[in-house]
Structure 1
Amino acid sequence: MIKSPLQIARESYVPKMPSSLKGGIKIVEGKATESVADQADIEKMFPNTYGMPVLTFEPGDAKEYAAQNVGVILSGGQAPGGHNVISGLYDGLKKLNPENKLYGFLGGPGGLVDNQYIELTEDIVNHYRNTGGFDIIGSGRTKLEETEQYEKALVNCKELGITALVIIGGDDSNTNACVLAEYYKEKQAGVQVIGVPKTIDGDLKNEMIETSFGFDTACKVYSELIGNIQRDANSAKKYWHFIKLMGRSASHIALECALQTQPNITIISEEVEAKQQTLDDVVSYIANIVAKRAENGDNFGTVLIPEGLVEFIPAMKKLIAELNDFLAHNEEAVNALEGNKEKREFVAERISDESREVFVSLPNSIANQLMLDRDPHGNVQVSLIETEKMLIDMVKAKLKSMKKAGEFKGKFKGQPHFFGYEGRCAAPSNFDADYCYSLGNTASMLIGEGKTGYMASVRNLTAPSSEWMAGGVPVTMMMNMEKRHGEMKPVIQKALVQLNGAPFKKLVENREEWALNTNYMYPGPIQYFGPSEVCDLTTNTLKYEQQ
């Protein structure tokens, strides 16, 4: 394997860990738990894994653990730190019993079903420590939701002698892990299932999961890019940069990047929905700030836009929900039509009057994008909707009418950007390297202690790493019922930006000053070497939430 000088240097980095994971442990059980909503429905569907207590590890006496074979799966989109989860899992298993073996299923959950795997040895794992990406075993988006899949996976596990599976993924992937844990426990199949919280979107979190891994690194990468663009904007002084940021449902990335870079405008989807704003409201808000800055001679600026914005505009949200439901049952009929015009007309005739009005008012390009194939979970692929370009065009049109009315006397040139893949496979920050390694070790302890249906949890993350608190949280505790593919299904509830939360309040507190003035911050690249106050920073989101 060819390695860069940075990668070679990073191989020698030893991740920091909580004190409770450095020796023997004892488990402290909390009270019985219940799901965040739909308690009766969730309990009925998960009778064997519902109501389990939260677990906290404390230093304890060393003990012997029986040897186990363990399988690990990377599921869903990449996030910085996945390799360190596997490194921590591998090291933790070997610490429990040197005879333990770790098998990596290739290409995501599909590898488990199709029995595609490799044994992860020390030589392999060592090549990937502290590196970005998921290329050690690859990832995939196959959903585990059919009995036939569970049975095939079980046969494959039995052939390899695997008694535990670790599924590293986001909310949907960990929902799959929970379903699998319930199925195997009900059958007394002898296979434990443990989840690990991964998603750069930041929407898999609660009081026990303070942040999902990869969020820290991705936001630092995006913030460096935004800072670079702002430096250019402030130098050229002639462009408005509209920057769409990854985050399918929640606006955590946009909010965190705003706190790191202080742009002129930050749209928060959850606020748009709470205020029942229309698309025109959002456009008018941006246009008015453009006009006010022009009065000061500043015909430039930056706008941060969350990827999922269109789904939070109430009328658009209703339209998309109808389209998701309609296409779930009529996708073949729509795809059989030749042209986009025919497809738009076919769909428009079969949705409600209110949604039809919104649908036909959209630019054809956006309407076409709303009809694209859904993701494996039945959701519109919002990353393919060019919201940033749509807003530039609409703001331009709004400013044109304002100029005619004498309300705008400046110039406007928009530049679109979309930052997504740029942050997903970056070399993990020191925080993510440490956090992920701790999560892997935590998963190994949960396996050694015979637990199933739990997600690895490491908390108290703004304290020194030695004071982090490791343990496990029942996945059923996070679940509710939601409509997917036209049917109600149990899923982990997404954590959206809280408008009464400290991070959003910090944005609101500074919003007007950042809008009218040029108070840009330029974070620069991630720092891996140097003083702790530079290299081990947590996100502003964590800092403000934990104050």
Structure 2
Amino acid sequence: MTISALQQARAQYQPKLPKSLKGAVKIVDGAATESVADQAEIKELFPNTYGMPLLTFEATDAAANVGPVNVGVILSGGQAPGGHNVISGIFDGIKKLNADSKLYGFLGGPGGLVDHKYMEITAEYLEGYRNTGGFDIIGSGRTKLEEEAQFDKGLEILKELNIKALVIIGGDDSNTNACVLAEYYAAKNAGVQVVGCPKTIDGDLKNEMIETSFGFDTAVKVYSELIGNIQRDANSAKKYWHFIKLMGRSASHIGLEAALQTQPNITLVSEEVAAKKQTLGEIVDYMANIIAKRAANGNNFGVALIPEGLVEFVPEMKALIAELNDLLAEGSESEAKFKSYTDKAEGRAFVSSILSAESAKVYNSLPSLIADQLTLDRDPHGNVQVSLIETEKLLGEMVKTRLAELKAEGKYVGKFGTQFHFFGYEGRCAAPSNFDADYCYSLGYTASVLIGSGKTGYMSSVRNTTAPADEWIAGGVPVTMMMNMEKRHGHMKPVIQKALVELDGAPFKYLAENREKWAIETSYLYPGPIQYWGPSEVCDRTTVTLQLEQKK
């Protein structure tokens, strides 16, 4: 197999570890924990894994004598840079516990466990994947482990392979499912531990014990390079406004961090829109006024960052989407009537006629392309697929209309040309940055220590991540500690609480303090590509978000 020069060089990189993981490890129990909310309900649902202590690892001279342990690993959900290094850390960790330990990968995500599709990950096979992006080592999938029949089917193959522990690498939903699985196996005394690792480029799996989810650092650096390149182009051509949509349906961490790295003219933050109850018209006015001010200074160009899930946070759009979900529900009379129209304009007129007056007004104000996306593209549950709505084009068209009104009023003197972009898949499988390579390897190694100590229902935790890797603090956090009860598909369920952008947090405050200057002036930063060799302050730097949160 031919590999690139970069792959050859990265294969030689040895990820850095916290000093507590370099030799024998002692586990120190911390305070007992409780869930972030709904303590009574969570405790009742997880009697075997609730209230466990926080764990911290310390170096020791007394090496533990551990027998061979077979471990299974699952990659769950969307890809994130560094997943291969998590698996590398698990492999090296369990081999250090005992050279006869084995690692099995379940193929294609959680479905591989249920369908008994697996492979043994050997040292030779693993070598080609160290420090690489992607999840192609064993593949990933979005099957949810929620039903006892799945748990029992999985247990069959775990027993057959003599697997004593299962590591699930995923986001908040995947780790919630991991915790349910840990509780089920503990209640059955099945002899199988379950440990989670925090993954998502969206950055919304975080708390005081999980400072960042892996992959976020690399993905945002990739997006920031692209944004910087576009800013340089905008400042060179001086004739386009670039509207850039960025991944992040539930939270705006990616957009915020990219803004801190590149200093664009406009950064929309969904959480702020929700908190201020900003209407679509107010958002459009905000953008149009900045464009007009820049035009008055002779600058008919700029860059705007837009979070993927913005429309769900706009009050009137949220209400419209909820109405459409009900009115066009699968099997409903109105859905059948809507589908009978072959002419799109007639279909839109019908939808408008069955909406409430307020929602109809919003619906009719939308460009026809967006209105069609709201009605035609639906998920298996009958809900609007918000990620498919081209929010950047919606705002571009509405801003264009508003600028024409401002020009007629004599309040806009410029020319408005647009270019649209959506950055998503470009960052999910990038070769991990040094930070993610080190962080992921440490998370995997931490999982092996938790396994060797007989722990279940824990998530790997590596903290103090703005310090050099040698000073990172490894340990474990009970997954139940992160949970609350939320309504999902009409039922209250225990789930890991998503971490949204905190408007009183240091990263957002920094944006708020500087965005007026960045809006009018051309204050662009050009971070360039990810660097793997060179000064530590360039190659090993963490996100601006972490630096501001930890004030380092």
TM-score bucket of the superposed structures, by smaller chain: over 0.9
Q: What displacement does 1:207 show? A: 0.2
Supply the distance in 1 between the matched residues of 2:507 and 2:390 (Cα, whole angstroms).
27
| Residue matched to 1:72 | 73
- Map residues 189-204 of structure 1 onto 2, 5 A cutoff: 189-204=190-205
Cα pair 2:69 2:164 within 8 Å, conserved? yes
Q: What displacement does 1:356 show? A: 5.2
Q: What displacement does 1:291 show? A: 0.2
Question: What secondary structure does 2:495 align onto?
Answer: strand
Supply the distance in 1 between the matched residues of 2:407 and 2:292 (Cα, whole angstroms).
9
- Map residues 165-176 of structure 1 onto 2, 5 A cutoff: 165-176=166-177
- Map residues 323-334 of structure 1 onto 2, 5 A cutoff: 323=324, 334=335
Supply the distance in 1 between the matched residues of 2:325 and 2:105 (Cα, whole angstroms).
34
Q: What displacement does 1:378 show? A: 8.5
| Aligned residue among 383, 390, 393 for 1:386 | 390
- Map residues 523-538 of structure 1 onto 2, 5 A cutoff: 523-538=527-542
Deviation digits for residues 271-319 of structure 1 (CA, Å, limit 9, x no counterpart): 1111110011100000000000000000000000011111111222334
Cα pair 2:366 2:394 within 8 Å, conserved? no
Q: TM-score, normalised by structure 1?
A: 0.95
Change (3 A) 1:352 1:115: farther
Change (3 A) 1:127 1:525: same
Does structure 1 residue 407 correspond to structure 2 residue 436?
no
Does structure 1 residue 98 correspond to structure 2 residue 99?
yes
Deviation digits for residues 107-158 of structure 1 (CA, Å, limit 9, x no counterpart): 1111111111110000111110000000000101111111211111111111
- Map residues 444-483 of structure 1 onto 2, 5 A cutoff: 444-483=448-487
| Residue matched to 1:430 | 434
Deviation digits for residues 333-381 of structure 1 (CA, Å, limit 9, x no counterpart): 9489355858767877877665555445433432333346666899753
Q: TM-score, normalised by structure 2?
A: 0.95
Question: What secondary structure does 1:140 align onto?
Answer: coil
Supply the distance in 2 between the matched residues of 1:438 and 1:155 (Cα, whole angstroms).
30
Cα pair 1:35 1:479 within 8 Å, conserved? yes
Question: What secondary structure does 1:9 align onto?
Answer: helix
Supply the distance in 2 between the matched residues of 1:52 and 1:343 (Cα, whole angstroms).
56
Structure 2: which amino acid aligns with 1:188?
N
Deviation digits for residues 207-241 of structure 1 (CA, Å, limit 9, x no counterpart): 00000000000011000000000000000000000
Cα pair 1:325 1:486 within 8 Å, conserved? no
Supply the distance in 1 between the matched residues of 2:328 and 2:72 (Cα, whole angstroms).
36
Deviation digits for residues 39-78 of structure 1 (CA, Å, limit 9, x no counterpart): 2222222121111111111112211112111110000110
Deviates more, 1:449-458 or 1:377-386: 377-386
Cα pair 1:372 1:381 within 8 Å, conserved? no
Unaligned runs of 5+ in 2: none
Question: What secondary structure does 2:51 align onto?
Answer: coil
Change (3 A) 1:448 1:130: same
| Residue matched to 2:121 | 120
Structure 2: which amino acid aligns with 1:506?
Y
Change (3 A) 1:349 1:123: farther
Supply the distance in 2 between the matched residues of 1:299 and 1:363 (Cα, whole angstroms).
24
Supply the distance in 2 between the matched residues of 1:388 and 1:458 (Cα, whole angstroms).
36
Unaligned runs of 5+ in 1: none
| Residue matched to 2:187 | 186
Does structure 1 residue 521 correspond to structure 2 residue 525?
yes
Deviates more, 1:254-263 or 1:359-368: 359-368
Deviation digits for residues 481-521 of structure 1 (CA, Å, limit 9, x no counterpart): 22222322211111011001111111111111100011111
Change (3 A) 1:297 1:345: closer
- Map residues 245-256 of structure 1 onto 2, 5 A cutoff: 245-256=246-257
Q: What displacement does 1:202 show? A: 0.5
Could you tell me the percent identity over the aligned residues? 73
Supply the distance in 1 between the matched residues of 2:95 and 2:340 (Cα, whole angstroms).
57
Cα pair 2:327 2:334 within 8 Å, conserved? no
Change (3 A) 1:326 1:153: farther
Supply the distance in 1 between the matched residues of 2:311 and 2:195 (Cα, whole angstroms).
34
- Map residues 82-97 of structure 1 onto 2, 5 A cutoff: 82-97=83-98
| Residue matched to 1:32 | 32
Structure 1: which amino acid aligns with 2:531?
Q
Structure 2: which amino acid aligns with 1:414?
T
Q: What displacement does 1:27 show? A: 1.2
Supply the distance in 2 between the matched residues of 1:165 and 1:143 (Cα, whole angstroms).
15
| Residue matched to 1:54 | 54
Change (3 A) 1:49 1:364: farther
